[in-house]
Amino acid sequence: MRLIDRVAHHNRWRRRHPIEKLVLALGMLILDLVLPPYPAGPIIAAIMLAAAIGGAGVPAVAYLRLLLAPVGFVLAGAAAVMVGVAGEPGLGWHFVLLPSGRIIALKLVLRALTAIASLNFLILTTPVENLLPLFRRWRVPGAVVDLIMVTYRFLFVFSDTLEAMRTAQDIRLGYSGWRRTYRSLAMLTAAFLGRVLDRARRLEMGLAARGYRGDLPVLVDEGRPSWPVMGGILALQLATAFLSLHLSR
Amino acid sequence: MHIMEGYLPIEHCVAWTVAAAPFVAAGARSISRRMEENPRVKLLLGVTAAFTFTLSALKLPSVTGSSSHPTGIGLGAVIFGPGAMTVIGLIVLLFQALLLAHGGISTLGANTFSMAIVGPWVSYGIYRLARRAGLSLGPALFFAAALGDLATYVTTSVQLALAFPDPARGVVGAMLKFMGIFAITQVPLAASEGFLTVLVMNQLIAYSRPELRDLGIVTKTETGGIAE
């Protein structure tokens, strides 16, 4: 998470208009879902990899680490799709490998990894706060956008706090054995909630002292998207769709 | 029970998003109203969403050796109400998809439906029913959190079954299969979540009464349940 934040703020495309990066990433995500996973998957993944590492200068290690982190979940999900049930309900129910299961699972893994590769490009080149003005322009209710902003600002602070609290419990043997683990987790959650609420109250006081009436205006550095770049992205996506359909025939 | 990025066909992604939209809109309206009444609510709900996200990093041990994280959905639905929890859940899911590759953007609609709509409403409904039936706070919370969890996992099974029907037994067969697979981890987890929710509430009552009273101010309707 911290890695994402660091890379998102320090890459060559950080100053590019967020809509360009959003259209590239989400467009490819949609293509990944509608085109046949092979050969579209590898093509899209290669483009996104090239864009992130070659274009934006995202460190290859960071990109690959994020891509491989959810592989366990992807494989577990694919395994569940691969099997079916056989036998009468109640009497000797068992799982069997479906004849078509292996292909479906393979396609699924390809599709999921490609989708993650597209999304990783977006999140590694674009800090979350740069996306918020877009939400506002798309008429997402202001209350929700503000909520997203407040949430994002607190994520990092809170994970530090929680980590410190958990470590404190752990070095006092708070997580040795089941009973203690549950007790510690309950104490941790409750104490953490207390802190969190306290934090909200202090923030509210600080804001109230500065004339807070419910609005949280922030200055955003809003450029304009470059039309040649947008055109290039759409052309690239059309070419990807065309090439994949052509190759799959 | 997050459905991973890229796991649902695009028609399903769209359909679940459309199904989730009215609930999200209603939730957004309800929190907007509350924010207008009291500007503090914005910060309070914001920290709650961050809190829920951070908590999802905690691992909960489970019988089968697998582990999962507490969702806090049951607790949140009882304290903040199901409408607010829908919006909070959506924001948490968004950040989980973006920052943790847990869930996904294309499956955000489906995950919102199972985790941020079905979960909170079932938890809240059970809690109210249980309290009306005269159950005390502890058992009511236990059932609310545990059954909310189970309802979420049944919903996820249905979503996956619709996307991947069993070739021989169709959607129903696939649903039973997914439920069977998930039951191994999810049934004990639902019980742990219920158990943990009760323990957390006990801790809160013991050490954070003022905060609970504060929350009672925020959600007037829930005061009766909490101020015991």
Residues of B in contact with A188 (CB under 8 A): 58
pLDDT interval class at A87 (50, 70, 90): low
pLDDT interval class at B38 (50, 70, 90): confident
Return the structure tokens found at B42: 């914005």
Give the closest residue to B93 by CA, choosing from B41, B35, B20: B20
Between positions 5 and 24 of A, the ones with CB within 8 A of B are: none
* CB nearest to A193's CB, from B9, B88, B204: B204
Residues of B in contact with A68 (CB under 8 A): none
Which residue is closest to B58 within chain A, CA to CA?
Answer: A185
Q: How far is CA A3 from CA A10, A61, A62, B22, B57, in A?
A: 11, 11, 7, 35, 16
* CB nearest to B7's CB, from A112, A150, A191: A112
**Does B196 contact A186 at a Cβ distance shorter than 8 Å?**
yes
- Number of inter-chain CB pairs under 8 A, A vs B: 228
What tens digit of pLDDT does each residue of A110-140 get? Answer: 999 999 999 999 999 998 888 888 888 888 8
Which residue is closest to A178 within chain B, CA to CA?
Answer: B61
3-state SS string over chain A? CHHHHHHHHCCCCCCCCHHHHHHHHHHHHHHHHHCCHHHHHHHHHHHHHHHHHHHCCCCHHHHHHHHHCCHHHHHHHHHHHHEEEEEECCEEEEEEECCCHHHHHHHHHHHHHHHHHHHHHHHHHCCHHHHHHHHHHCCCCHHHHHHHHHHHHHHHHHHHHHHHHHHHHHHCCCCCCHHHHHHHHHHHHHHHHHHHHHHHHHHHHHHHHCCCCCCCCCCCCCCCCCHHHHHHHHHHHHHHHHHHHHHHC
Rounded to 5 degrees, φ, ψ at B60 are -110, 125
Q: What is the percent of chain A where pLDDT is above 70?
A: 95
Q: Is the pLDDT of residue A220 over 50?
A: yes
**Does A143 contact B42 at a Cβ distance shorter than 8 Å?**
yes
pLDDT interval class at B59 (50, 70, 90): low
Query: Which residue would you say has higher pLDDT here, A78 or B112?
Result: B112
- Mean pLDDT rounded to a whole number for chain A: 86
- Mean pLDDT rounded to a whole number for chain B: 82
* CB nearest to B99's CB, from A4, A142, A148: A4
pLDDT interval class at A2 (50, 70, 90): confident
Q: In this predicted structure, what is the pLDDT of residue B143?
A: 93
**Does A197 contact B44 at a Cβ distance shorter than 8 Å?**
yes
Q: Is the pLDDT of residue B118 over 60?
A: yes
Q: Is the pLDDT of residue B191 over 80?
A: yes
Q: Is the pLDDT of residue A23 over 90?
A: yes
Give the closest residue to B198 by CA, choosing from B146, B126, B122, B128: B146
Which residue is closest to B210 within chain A, CA to CA?
Answer: A194
B201 CA to chain A: closest CA distance, Å?
A: 7
For chain A, the structural domain boundaries read 1-126+220-249, 140-218
Domains delineated in chain B: 10-214 (1.10.1760.20)
3-state SS assignment for residue B67: strand
Q: What is the percent of chain A where pLDDT is above 90?
A: 30
Q: In this predicted structure, what is the pLDDT of residue B217?
A: 35
Minimum mean pLDDT among A35-44, A71-80, A199-208, B125-134: which range?
A71-80
Measured between CB atoms, does A114 come within 8 Å of chain B? yes
Measured between CB atoms, does B7 come within 8 Å of chain A? yes
Between positions 183 and 212 of B, the ones with CB within 8 A of A are: 192, 195-196, 199-200, 202-204, 207-208, 211
3-state SS string over B164-218? CCECCCHHHHHHHHHHHHHHHHHHHHHHHHHHHHHHHHHHHHHHCHHHHHHHHHH
Which residue is closest to A123 within chain B, CA to CA?
Answer: B98
Q: In this predicted structure, what is the pLDDT of residue B220?
A: 40
Strand partners, A88: A91
Q: How far is CA A35 from CA A243, B81, B160, in A?
A: 10, 41, 20
Residues of B in contact with A96 (CB under 8 A): none
Return the structure tokens found at B4: 């991973």
Q: In this predicted structure, what is the pLDDT of residue B214?
A: 62
**Does A147 contact B49 at a Cβ distance shorter than 8 Å?**
yes
Do strands A91-97 and A83-88 pair parallel, antiparallel, or not at all (unpaired)?
A: antiparallel
**Does A186 contact B199 at a Cβ distance shorter than 8 Å?**
yes
B137 CA to chain A: closest CA distance, Å?
A: 16
Q: In this predicted structure, what is the pLDDT of residue B87?
A: 93
Over range B185-196, report the average pLDDT: 82
A213 CA to chain B: closest CA distance, Å?
A: 6
Q: In this predicted structure, what is the pLDDT of residue B215?
A: 60
Residues of A in contact with B3 (CB under 8 A): 77
Q: Is the pLDDT of residue B71 over 50?
A: yes
Measured between CB atoms, does B176 come within 8 Å of chain A? yes
What ipTM was assigned to the predicted interfaces of this complex? 0.88
Name the most confidently modeled range: A78-92, B14-28, B66-80, B164-178.
Answer: B14-28
* CB nearest to B39's CB, from A83, A104, A213: A213
Q: Is the pLDDT of residue B221 over 60?
A: no
Measured between CB atoms, does B155 come within 8 Å of chain A? no
* CB nearest to B6's CB, from A99, A111, A199: A111
Q: Is the pLDDT of residue A27 over 90?
A: yes
* Angle, alpha carbons A217-A223-A224 (nearest 5°): 125
Q: In this predicted structure, what is the pLDDT of residue B66?
A: 45
Residues of B in contact with A22 (CB under 8 A): none
Residues of A in contact with B87 (CB under 8 A): 144, 147
Give the closest residue to A114 by CA, choosing from A62, A37, A27: A37
Name the most confidently modeled range: A133-147, B25-39, B113-127, B174-188.
Answer: B113-127
Q: Is the pLDDT of residue A3 over 90?
A: no
